[in-house]
Amino acid sequence: MSIIYDNHIKFLFKNAWLQTIVPNYLQFSKITYHKRERHTLLDGDFMDLDYLLNNESSKIIILIHGFEGCSHSSYIKATANYLYKNGCNVLAVNLRGCSGQDNLKPYSYHSGKTQDLKSVIDAVKLKYTDISLIGFSLGANLTLKYLADYCHEPPVHRAIAISAPFDLEASAKKIVQSYISNQHFMNSLKRKLEIKKRTFPEEFKDLNIKALKNIIDVDEYYTAPQHGYSSAHEFYEAASCINPVSYTH
């Protein structure tokens, strides 16, 4: 039995998809955030911010979830719970449209939308003088891109980027290779796009949601045009944290 078990463990750690999927079913952190604040962005849209407040400390750690995640994703809750139990104040960010309520604009969040993160940090720094960032996956790319875009002004004392997709195009192509991972994201994205199409019928009258087969299609026909890019390729180039040039779409 031990030999079989050891072989299974070895297979798990060699398989990237299992490394991604299995931990979501192994982490059960039952936490209740102390409060939610709605942060208004410069364009009139919003992001919902969930807090675990431990003390009156001037320090806070901001958690940024991954693609199609939220403050209630297992990895965010597990991290928030650990930090809170160790005396930290925690802010779990919900990017646009990720808090359970659709955002107010036809466009939403994306991997390089550092203006939104800056807006949150600018608000948080009014109360907290010591700010740390922990980003996961898409949130890791966003964290690193933010530090590059605003390297002369960020009030961030330390940052951790976990599983950062430095090259977004290569990462997207890798996800598309996995039917399970691609379908997981597509189910969520298509639900959101259906809501967008009902809310903004003129804006999306030419978008055939059923024809979208993978996340690259979504970026080609939704993310890129909604944020002023000519194609998914241009968007990936602009939003990847590996590229030093700052873009502000």
pLDDT at 12 over 70: no
Sign of the torsion formed by the C-alpha atoms of 134, 48, 242 and 187: positive
- pTM of the full predicted structure? 0.89
Question: What DSSP element (H or E) covers 156?
Answer: strand 156-162
> What SS3 class is residue 162?
strand
What would the pLDDT profile of 61-118 be if each residue is shown by its tens digit? 999 999 999 999 999 999 999 999 999 999 999 999 999 999 999 999 999 999 999 9
Number of C-beta neighbours around residue 213 at 10 A: 11
CB-based burial label for 86 (10 Å; 0-12, 13-18, 19+): exposed
Average pLDDT over residues 1-13: 52
Query: Quick one: pLDDT at residue 8?
Result: 55
Identify the band that residue 46 occupies on the pLDDT scale cut at 50, 70 and 90: very high
Torsion of CA 120, 168, 195, 146, to 10 degrees: 10
Q: Considering all CA atoms of the chain, what is the largest pairwise distance in Å, rounded to the nearest integer? A: 61
Per-residue confidence (pLDDT) for residue 22, from 0 to 100: 56
23 backbone dihedrals φ, ψ, rounded to 5°: -60, -25
Annotate 48-108 with DSSP letters as a single string. EEEEE--SS-SEEEEEE--TT--TTSHHHHHHHHHHHHTT--EEEE--TT-SSS--SSSS-
Residue with tokens 């982490």: 27
pLDDT of 10 strictly over 70: no
Query: Contact, 169 vs 198, CB < 8 A?
Result: no
Span 200-228, pLDDT tens digits: 999 999 999 999 999 999 999 999 999 99
Element spanning 164, H or E: none
Mean pLDDT of the chain: 90
Q: Which of 218, 213, 194 is nearest to 204 (CA)?
A: 194
pLDDT of 246 > 70? The answer is no
Q: Please say if the pLDDT value at position 3 is more than 60.
A: no
Q: Please give the Cα distance from 168 to 138 (Å, whole number).
A: 9
Tokens, residue 124:
């948080």
pLDDT of residue 234: 96
> In this predicted structure, what is the pLDDT of residue 73?
95
The answer to whether residue 18 scores a pLDDT higher than 90 is no
